[in-house]
């Protein structure tokens, strides 16, 4: 089964689908030197128009800034809605599809997935609570695993800039690697202590840079989605 991953970035979604059993081809407007499969640098919507019918399934992760909390902090910046025209082209392709985006995006009957559903965390136990929505056609009609937000747990963010202040606190029982200049591996208790390797561990991704991680989806999410697609048939 061939799957087209649009707006692929460095391939977090692609690796998940590959693990589920798909042959994956990625497309992104920007070069992706660490993308692990066949890759085409191109406009995603243009590629979808020309080649969508060549694939069995299509996944799309249109830019989320228009709908994200971070994007709303700077309303003067223009963030075009690529989700709506992408959905229209996906429907026109006649192929089963998945659209991924952030909470708050106008997806239709989406499934919500979270890192805690798959036990994603750093080696020191800081949980990944990255919630993402998935609109699927056909609808999967399956139950998702429950979130497992542990009470008083440390939470790691993978955002490239900052994160919500309430999520910066790391309990003393959680050891995280200190930033440069610290005296101990367990003496730093703020967001800056999380290293790129901590973020890689939490995401289940070992091939990306820090900036690439900030835009990525953990492969565990799309491995689950891919297996569910194969189970329901299409």
pLDDT digits (tens, 9 = 90+) for 41-74: 999 999 999 999 999 999 999 996 555 544 444 4
**By mean pLDDT, which of 39-43, 128-132, 193-197 is the weakest?**
193-197
* 107 band by pLDDT with thresholds 50, 70 and 90: very high
Domain count, the chain: 1
User: Is 110 among the domain residues?
Assistant: yes
User: Is 157 among the domain residues?
Assistant: no
User: Is 67 among the domain residues?
Assistant: yes
DSSP per-residue codes, the chain = -EEEEET-TTSHHHHHHHHHT-EEEEEESS--TT--SEEEES-HHHHHHHHGGGSSEEEE----TTTSHHHHT-TTS-----HHHHHHHHHHHTS-EEEEE-TTS--SS-EEE-GGGGT-B-TT--EE---EEEEEES----PPPPP---TT--EE---SS---GGGS---TTS--PPPTT-S-TT---SGGG--HHHHHHHHT-SS--HHHHHT---HHHHHHHHHHHHHH--
Mean pLDDT taken over the chain: 84
Look up the CATH number of the domain holding residue 217.
3.40.50.150
User: Is 60 among the domain residues?
Assistant: yes
Question: Hey, which of 7-21, 55-69, 163-177, 183-197 has the most confident mean pLDDT?
Answer: 7-21
User: Is 185 among the domain residues?
Assistant: no
Give residue 115's domain range: 2-149+199-232
User: Is 186 among the domain residues?
Assistant: no
User: Is 123 among the domain residues?
Assistant: yes
């Amino acid at each position: 089964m061939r799957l087209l991953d649009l707006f692929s970035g460095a391939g977090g979604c692609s690796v998940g689908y590959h693990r589920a059993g798909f042959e994956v081809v990625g497309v992104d407007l920007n070069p992706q030197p660490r993308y692990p499969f066949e890759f085409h640098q191109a406009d995603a919507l243009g590629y979808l128009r020309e080649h969508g019918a060549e694939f069995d399934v299509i996944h799309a992760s249109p830019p989320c800034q228009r709908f994200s909390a971070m994007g709303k902090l700077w309303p003067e910046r223009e963030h075009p809605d690529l989700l709506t025209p992408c959905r229209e082209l996906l429907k026109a392709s006649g192929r089963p599809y998945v659209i991924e985006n952030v909470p708050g995006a106008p997806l239709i009957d989406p499934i919500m997935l979270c890192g805690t559903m798959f036990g994603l965390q750093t080696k020191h136990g800081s949980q990944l609570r990255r919630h993402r929505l998935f609109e699927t056609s056909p609808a999967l009609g399956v139950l998702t695993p429950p979130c497992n937000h542990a009470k008083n747990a440390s939470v790691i963010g993978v955002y490239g800039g900052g994160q919500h202040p309430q999520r910066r606190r790391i309990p003393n029982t959680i050891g995280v690697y200190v930033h440069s200049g610290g005296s101990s591996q367990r003496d730093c208790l703020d967001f800056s202590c999380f290293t790129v390797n901590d973020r890689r561990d939490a995401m289940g991704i070992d091939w990306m840079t820090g900036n690439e991680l900030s835009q990525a989806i953990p492969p565990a999410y799309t491995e689950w989605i891919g297996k569910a697609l194969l189970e329901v048939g299409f």
